[in-house]
Structure 1
Amino acid sequence: MTEVNVHEAKTHLSRLLKQVEDGERVVISRGGSPVADLVQHVRPRLTAGLLRGQLHYDSETFDDPDRALARQMVDGPLGPEAG
């Protein structure tokens, strides 16, 4: 772990980002007190059907629903056989 003050973080941001890319954690402090951590970004994993049962279709607001699209939004991706 590396700890730097705000001035050093601004001056050496590219170097600090390289350290983070290499797996190191960098703590940025102001007046000797930690205020932020630089850590590697982790992409969230998206899951199909995550909102199943939480979203509802309002037929008074929308005309002629696309049944295949609605099924895909609820059940996940359609297989090649479903076309």
Structure 2
Amino acid sequence: MVINVYEAKTHLSKLLDRAAGGEEIVLGKSGKPLARLVPYGEPRQPRKPGRLAGQIWIAPDFDETPEDIIAAFEGDLEDDE
């Protein structure tokens, strides 16, 4: 639903309450969407490289492609018949 600018000015307080409650309010002019009112959220902290060091691992063969997969891509499949 697009709410026109005039209605938004008239009911701004109510629209802000609705947005704070989680509803997305679309503001528009002549029926065309121009802006959104959405709930304010605190910005996320930037991720820190190495934060999970020692807590996760990758299998040593992670980058190795199995021979049957390579054969399938190269069209070298053998029939089992």
Report the TM-score, using the length of structure 2 for normalisation. 0.53
Identity level (%)? 43
1:23 paired residue number: 22
> Unpaired segments of 5 or more residues in structure 2?
50-81
Larger-gyration structure (1/2): 2
Give yes or no for contact 2:19–2:37 (8 Å, CA) kept in 1: yes
1:60 paired residue number: none
Number of positions where the alignment pairs a residue of Structure 1 with one of Structure 2: 49
1:76 paired residue number: none
User: Residues 30 and 48 of structure 1: is their aligned pair in 2 closer, same or farther, counting only changes over 3 Å?
Assistant: closer
> Unpaired segments of 5 or more residues in structure 1?
51-83
AA aligned opposite 1:39: V
1:55 paired residue number: none
Give yes or no for contact 2:2–2:25 (8 Å, CA) kept in 1: yes
Deviations 1:18-40 (A, max 9, x none): 10111111000101100001001
Taking the TM superposition and a 5 Å limit, the aligned residue runs for 1:30-41 are 30-41=29-40
User: Which of structure 1's runs of 4+ aligned residues deviate more than 2 A?
Assistant: 45-50
Q: CA RMSD in A?
A: 1.8
